[in-house]
Amino acid sequence: MGQDDINRRGRAIALLIAGVGLAWIAATALGAALDWSQRIRALFDLAALAGFGLAIWKIYELWRDRRTNKD
């Protein structure tokens, strides 16, 4: 695994975090504007939580791979 691959994976994780954050903000704003029920809003909160959890897992994998392949 080269430095370019590590950098690419890091950028992909950053985009995942930014995308989940923006989608969460949009869903919250839409829920308030369209007067969605609390159950639907909670569903989007849980989806965002799952997305952030996935990002944390990917960061952990990247960190572990960098430690394993240290030169």
**Tens-place pLDDT, residues 38-69:** 999 999 999 999 999 999 999 999 999 999 87
Is the distance from CB of 17 to CB of 55 less than 8 angstroms? Answer: yes
Q: For the whole model, what pTM was predicted? A: 0.89
Q: Write down the mean pLDDT value for the chain.
A: 95
Report the domain count for the chain: 1
What's the domain range around 58?
3-68
User: What does the alpha-carbon distance between residue 9 and residue 25 come to, in Å, rounded to a whole number?
Assistant: 24
User: What does the alpha-carbon distance between residue 25 and residue 31 come to, in Å, rounded to a whole number?
Assistant: 10
